[in-house]
Amino acid sequence: MSPCSLLPVILGIPVFLPDSKTESIKNPRQSLLREKRGWTGHSFYVPEESNISYYYVGQIKSDLDDGSEFFQYRLLGDGAESTFVIDERTGEIYAIKKLDREEQSLYTLRAQVIDTITGRAVEPESEFVIRVTDINDNEPKFLDEPYEAMVPEMSPEGTFVIRVTASDADDPSTGNHARLLYSLLQGQPYFSIEPTTGIIRISSEMDRELQDEYLVLIQAKDMLGQPGALSGTTSVLIKLSDVNDNKPIFKETFYRLTVSELAPIGTYIGKITAYDNDIGENAEMEYSVEDDSQTFGIVTNNETQEGLVQLKKKVDYELQNHYRIIARVRNPHVSEKLRIYHTEAAKAIIKVLVNDEDEPPVFLLSYYIFEIFEESPLGSAVGMVSAIDPDAKKSPIGYSVTDTRRFSIDDNGTIITAHPLDRELSAWYNFTISATEKYNMQQISTVPVYVRILDINDHAPEFPEHYEPYVCENADTGQIIQVISAVDKDKSEEVHHFYYNLSVEDTNSSFIIMNNLDNTASIVTSKSGFNLQEEPVFYLRILISDNGVPSLTGTCTLTIYVCDCDGNDDNQACDNKGFIKSLAFKTQVAIASLIGMMLIFGLVFLIFVLKQRRKQSLFPEKGEDYRENIFRYDDEGGGEEDTDAFDIVELRSRTFLRQPRARKVPSEDIRSLYRQSLQVGPESALFRKFILEKLHEANTDPCAPPFDSLQTYAFEGMGSLAGSLSSLESAGSEQDENFDYLNELGPRFQRLACLFGPAMPTNQ
């Protein structure tokens, strides 16, 4: 092939060989059956943004094309007919509109050669590419706008602030269209930017208190800033965060405040203010006060950051009418590296003036304690309180007391007794004294007063309980029957000591007392053997002395019962029996007393009826003297026939109860109770003597009543529980008298007669 034949290939123009052309002209139909020889022009370039309406792109040509009018080119594919067109005869391709590489940088098309006669393709389609070449038509654009950054104030040079980034839509492979350089248009001298990375850094220290934010302008240029380069700009808002580099400062260096002397503790009397150029936590303040008297303090209001001056101690105008204090303020949150900014706290002087007020009286003491002996005479001085007017006018003071029933107070403040005081009733008295200004009755103060009643020895010792000792009939000498103790209502400065002795009347008693030297004493028998029937009860008077000054002696009576003990002389058993017998005995006495009273009233009523029947009294001279002790009967005696009914001779013997008639007794307890009834009579020997004297008088008196009458005697015994008793008297000669009425009353009346008088004989 000659060089001339290679030129179309180099230029991209399809070339058809001459022999092919001649043959296709001679027989066009046969050309469709021939094999493809080839296409020329497979890739074309079109610059973007071309302003030519029909911009020539290039030409495609089939190697079968010999210039015959029977060949026609067609264009198919992306952008065919809308963006690109082809000349049907020549195969030249034109762009019919402006292209934008950033929208589409590559178009893939197909070309066909059509036989106009047959309408068929002469050969298969040929595919080719049209590329849109880039021009620098896009300026850089910044991403992530708007930009904001924050950096601490006073940051050192080179501190990183923020990084900005721009992009260029141009083809980075085409020259330097997308290669960018950054520069700072605004923000010097505090900031700088790295040209290739877009990193902004601090180039000079900044103070937030002078300026707290900066607006920095950044420019980005493509083509490395060469002539014809495009650029884009953005802004960065850089704020300075606060650091605690400023200490608080008082707005005023001198404050004047006032406080009333009546103001209570905790009162806020004023406020002081400081300011801090810092913000947030760095502007928080803490106040303190320099006050040696510790009278005032300052509390910080966390919301307003003000200092509230507070009263911590009561003030008194008369003692001190003004104060001078120094207030300090500081930041509580300061880091170590910022201590250099807070070496000395700010100070301010506060002068506090105390206002004079009309104050109530003031007692010299907050409370008073006095002592006085009990039983002191009325009007005795207890103690003295004193109050003064703290104001300059010194108003006179009047006093009053709440407990006016026991105490009173005079104008001098002397407390006086108004009622007898007894320590045993109350050892302390608490009341209140009021002091009132006479010039201003509204000014009143009170003070508590405590009065202690001192003891004097005004109570004799006594038994702490009721003792009921028992002694057995067969008790031996030296037997302890009771241990006694004593109590004293008085309060002794020392430990109580009691001394026990028998009364003078009981020194020859059947018992003695032995001090145990431990404030107790033992009652001990001084003889052996006791008789239940003769002396059932002993009354022992015991003298108990204390160790007070002067010493007091009390007399206490100890009742000792004689009891019938069992055979083994068990004292405990004796106590148990005695206790049961005592209960039975007391019950029996109560019942017998009630029945006896009923019978006496019945007998009195009967006598009254008999007196009405009998006009003359047998014993008129004794009627008024003996009253209820005289029983009068109008019955005529039975003469000698009555001698069996009553035998006066029995009265001459010792007092005893004859063996009653045989009757059925259901139990031993009843016999025991019957025997107990003998214990209430008077002493046997004394009563026997009394009866014998009366019998002698009756036998020798010629004016004695008739023998068939009932003689009554009144007798007061020594130590008898009944207190008095009576007896029936008659002449010594035998006489007949009917006492059937006694038999009619039955055994109960006989037992009652034993309780209230000597033993009454019964008919055998």
CATH number at residue 423: 2.60.40.60
Contact 43, 129 (CB under 8 A): yes
CB-based contacts of 256, cutoff 8 Å, min separation 6: 350, 351, 353
Backbone φ, ψ for residue 651 (5° rounding): -70, -25
Tell me if 372 is assigned to some domain: yes
Q: List strand residue ranges (DSSP E) for 396-479, in order.
A: 397-401, 407-409, 414-417, 428-437, 444-454, 470-472
Dihedral in degrees, nearest 10, Cα atoms 63, 64, 65, 68: 160
CB-based contacts of 152, cutoff 8 Å, min separation 6: 240, 241, 242, 243
Instruction: Please tell me whether residues 474 and 623 are part of one structural domain.
Output: no
Instruction: Please tell me whether residues 662 and 555 are part of one structural domain.
Output: no
Tell me if 764 is assigned to some domain: no
- Which of 355, 371, 402 lies at the terminal end of a domain, its last residue? 355
Instruction: Please tell me whether residues 268 and 193 are part of one structural domain.
Output: no
Q: Pick the residue with more confidence: 381 or 126?
A: 381
CA distance 272 to 498: 77
Tell me if 464 is assigned to some domain: no
Q: What angle do CA 634, 639, 641 make, to 5 degrees?
A: 115
Reported confidence tier of residue 39, pLDDT bands at 50, 70, 90: low
Q: Is 198 helix (H, G, I), strand (E, B) or coil?
A: coil
Confidence (pLDDT) at 671: 43
Q: Within 10 Å of residue 260's Cβ, how many Cβ atoms?
A: 15
Q: What H or E segment, with its residue span, contains residue 326?
A: strand 322-330
Contact 386, 287 (CB under 8 A): no
CA distance 18 to 111: 22
Q: Pick the residue with more confidence: 233 or 546?
A: 233
Confidence (pLDDT) at 109: 87
Q: Is 327 helix (H, G, I), strand (E, B) or coil?
A: strand
CA 525, distance to chain mean position in Å, is 65
Place of tokens 């005529």: 636
Tell me if 568 is assigned to some domain: no
Name residue 91's amino acid.
Answer: G
Q: Is 50 left (phi over 0), alpha (psi -120 to 50) or beta?
A: beta
Tell me if 761 is assigned to some domain: no
Q: Pick the residue with more confidence: 86 or 369?
A: 369
Confidence (pLDDT) at 260: 93
Confidence (pLDDT) at 628: 44
Tell me: the pLDDT tens digits for 132-173? 877 777 889 998 889 999 999 989 999 999 999 998 887 777
CA distance 556 to 544: 8
Instruction: Please tell me whether residues 474 and 347 are part of one structural domain.
Output: no
Tell me if 9 is assigned to some domain: yes
Instruction: Please tell me whether residues 417 and 330 are part of one structural domain.
Output: no
Reported confidence tier of residue 709, pLDDT bands at 50, 70, 90: low
Q: What does the mean pLDDT of the chain come to?
A: 76
Reported confidence tier of residue 429, pLDDT bands at 50, 70, 90: very high
- Which of 407, 429, 454 lies at the terminal end of a domain, its last residue? 454
pLDDT of residue 493 exceeding 80, the answer is no
Q: Integer distance in angstroms from the first to the last C-alpha of the chain?
A: 200
pLDDT of residue 522 exceeding 50, the answer is yes
Instruction: Please tell me whether residues 294 and 320 are part of one structural domain.
Output: yes
Q: List strand residue ranges (DSSP E) for 194-295, in order.
A: 199-202, 213-221, 231-241, 249-250, 254-260, 268-275, 286-290
Confidence (pLDDT) at 655: 39
Instruction: Please tell me whether residues 489 and 540 are part of one structural domain.
Output: yes
CB-based contacts of 98, cutoff 8 Å, min separation 6: 48, 49, 50, 51
Q: What percent of the chain has pLDDT over 90?
A: 26
Tell me if 222 is assigned to some domain: yes
Instruction: Please tell me whether residues 280 and 155 are part of one structural domain.
Output: no
Instruction: Please tell me whether residues 123 and 147 are part of one structural domain.
Output: no
What is the model's pTM?
0.42
Write out the two tokens for 476: 């031996």
3-state SS record for 359-401 = CCCEECCCCEEEEEECCCCCCCEEEECCEECCCCCCCCEEEEE
Instruction: Please tell me whether residues 603 and 750 are part of one structural domain.
Output: yes
Confidence (pLDDT) at 408: 93
Tell me: the pLDDT tens digits for 379-422? 999 999 999 988 878 889 999 998 888 999 998 999 999 989 98
User: 571-613 vs 668-676: helix axis angle to the nearest 10?
Assistant: 70
In total, how many domains does the chain have?
6
**Full residue range of the structural domain in which residue 438 is found:** 362-454
Q: Pick the residue with more confidence: 398 or 718?
A: 398
Reported confidence tier of residue 112, pLDDT bands at 50, 70, 90: confident
Instruction: Please tell me whether residues 149 and 236 are part of one structural domain.
Output: yes
Place of tokens 């026997």: 688
Reported confidence tier of residue 674, pLDDT bands at 50, 70, 90: very low
Instruction: Please tell me whether residues 127 and 268 are part of one structural domain.
Output: no
CB-based burial, 302-336: b 16+ in 10 Å, e otherwise:
eeebbbbbbbeeebebeeeeebebebbbbbeebee
Place of tokens 């005697």: 713
Tell me: the pLDDT tens digits for 564-617? 887 655 554 454 444 445 555 566 777 888 898 888 888 888 888 787 766 444
Tell me if 459 is assigned to some domain: no
User: What is the DSSP secondary structure assignment for residue 584, as one 8-state letter?
Assistant: H
User: 571-613 vs 747-756: helix axis angle to the nearest 10?
Assistant: 100
